[in-house]
C-alpha cells in the first residue's frame, strides 16, 4: 500500500510495476484473467528501501514464491475478531486453532497484524495448487465454526461476526495477499505486524502495542527469534492430514 502523502491521506494498493519502478525492485510476470502483467518483488533490503521511497507503508506479499507461483509454501489463517471481543477471547480462539493444527501434524507460527486480529502462518512444501490450499483452509474454518458456533464464523458477511471471530481462509486464494511480518501499517502510531511466541499471548498485543518506535528495542532484547525455525520447518500437506479434517482431493 502506497501513502505518498502520509498514512492519514489518500492511500492506494499497487501490484504492477510502473515505468518508473526502481531497478533494484525485481519484476515477475503474472498471468491473470486480463493477460500477462508485471508485478513487483522486493528480494533485498535495497528493494524494500526503494519501496519506502515510493511511499509504501504496507507490504502485502503472496504466499507463493517464484518460480512456483502456482503452489503456495505458506498457509495463512487470518483471525479477524468482532471489535467488541476481549483479548482473552481472541487468545482462547487462536489456541483452539493451534491445538487443531498440532493434532493433525502441522506447526503454526504466530504474529500480530498491527490491527485487532492475529495471523497463524503454516509453512508447507509447495506441492499443492491454490485451489486445494483454499479448499483445505475453508474446511478447517467451517469445522471450527460448526464445532464452536459461539466463537467462530467462516462467513464473510459482517452481520455473522457479532461476538465472533471470522476465520478468513480467503487469504489462501490465488492472487490474495496478507500483510508481511514486520510491515508497518498505515495507521496512527505506525503499528507493526510482529512475529511473536505463543507464550506471549498473556499481554494484549493488538493495534499499536508493537510500533515503529519500540520494535528495534524488542529485536535487540529477543533471546530467540519467534520465527527463527519457520524457514527450516519442513512439513507437507498430505492427503492423510487433509482427510483428518474432512477435506479430500
pLDDT at 190: 97
pTM, whole model, 2 decimals? 0.95
The pLDDT tens digits for 129-142 are: 999 999 999 999 99
Q: DSSP for 117-128?
A: -EEEEEE--S-S
Residue 237, domain CATH: 3.90.920.10
Q: Are residues 164 and 231 in the same domain?
A: yes
Contacts of 33 (CB under 8 A, 6+ apart): none
Helix pair angle (87-104, 130-147), 10° resolution: 120
Q: Are residues 203 and 99 in the same domain?
A: yes
Q: Are 108 and 120 in contact (CB under 8 A)?
A: yes
In the beta sheet, which residues pair with residue 220? none
Q: Are residues 203 and 90 in the same domain?
A: yes
Residue recorded with cell 464445532: 147
- Range(s) of the domain holding residue 122: 63-249
Q: Are residues 35 and 67 in the same domain?
A: no
Number of domains in the chain: 2
Q: Residue 137: CA atoms inside 13 Å, Cβ hemisphere, count?
A: 27
pLDDT at 49: 96
Q: Are residues 140 and 157 in the same domain?
A: yes
Give the domain-ending residue among 11, 41, 57. Answer: 57
Q: Are residues 99 and 146 in the same domain?
A: yes
The pLDDT tens digits for 134-164 are: 999 999 999 999 999 999 999 988 888 899 9
For the segment 187-193, the average pLDDT, to the nearest whole number, is: 97
Burial of 153 (0-12, 13-18, 19+ CB in 10 A): buried
Q: Distance between CA 206 and CA 78 in Å, rounded?
A: 14
Give the domain-ending residue among 57, 73, 103. Answer: 57
pLDDT at 6: 94
In the beta sheet, which residues pair with residue 27? 40
Q: Are residues 121 and 199 in the same domain?
A: yes
Q: Are residues 108 and 34 in the same domain?
A: no
The pLDDT tens digits for 40-68 are: 999 999 999 999 999 999 999 999 999 99
Give the domain-ending residue among 28, 57, 86. Answer: 57
Q: Distance between CA 172 and CA 174 in Å, rounded?
A: 7
Strands 165-168 vs 152-153: parallel, antiparallel or unpaired: parallel
Q: Are residues 7 and 123 in the same domain?
A: no
Dihedral angle computed from the Cα positions of residues 61, 62, 64 and 66, in that order, rounded to the nearest 10 degrees = -60
Q: Are residues 45 and 97 in the same domain?
A: no
Q: Are residues 209 and 192 in the same domain?
A: yes
The pLDDT tens digits for 194-230 are: 999 999 999 999 999 999 999 999 999 999 999 999 9
Q: Are residues 20 and 53 in the same domain?
A: yes
Amino acid at each position: 500500500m502506497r501513502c505518498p502523502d502520509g498514512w492519514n491521506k489518500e492511500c492506494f494498493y499497487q501490484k504492477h510495476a510502473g515505468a518508473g519502478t526502481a531497478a533494484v525492485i525485481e519484476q515477475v510476470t503474472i498471468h491473470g484473467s486480463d493477460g500477462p502483467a508485471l508485478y513487483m518483488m522486493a528480494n533485498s533490503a535495497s528493494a524494500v528501501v526503494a519501496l519506502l521511497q515510493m511511499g509504501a507503508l504496507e507490504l502485502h506479499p503472496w504466499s507463493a514464491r517464484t518460480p512456483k507461483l502456482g503452489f503456495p509454501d505458506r498457509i495463512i489463517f487470518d483471525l479477524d475478531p468482532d471489535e467488541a471481543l476481549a483479548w482473552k477471547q481472541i487468545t482462547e480462539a487462536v489456541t483452539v486453532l493451534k491445538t487443531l493444527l498440532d493434532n493433525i501434524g502441522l506447526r503454526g507460527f504466530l504474529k500480530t497484524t498491527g490491527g485487532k486480529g492475529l495471523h497463524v502462518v503454516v509453512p508447507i512444501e509447495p506441492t499443492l495448487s491454490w485451489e486445494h490450499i483454499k479448499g483445505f483452509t475453508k474446511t478447517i474454518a467451517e469445522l471450527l465454526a460448526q464445532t464452536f458456533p459461539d466463537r467462530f464464523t467462516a462467513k464473510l458477511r459482517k452481520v455473522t461476526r457479532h461476538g465472533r471471530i471470522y476465520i478468513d481462509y480467503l487469504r489462501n486464494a490465488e492472487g490474495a495477499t496478507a500483510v508481511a511480518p514486520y510491515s508497518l501499517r498505515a495507521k496512527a502510531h505506525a503499528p507493526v505486524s510482529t512475529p511473536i511466541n505463543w507464550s506471549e499471548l498473556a499481554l494484549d498485543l493488538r493495534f499499536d502495542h508493537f510500533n515503529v518506535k519500540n520494535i528495534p528495542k524488542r529485536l535487540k532484547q529477543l533471546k530467540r527469534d519467534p520465527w527463527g525455525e519457520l524457514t527450516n520447518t519442513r512439513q507437507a500437506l498430505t492427503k492423510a492430514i487433509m482427510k483428518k479434517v474432512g477435506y479430500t482431493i
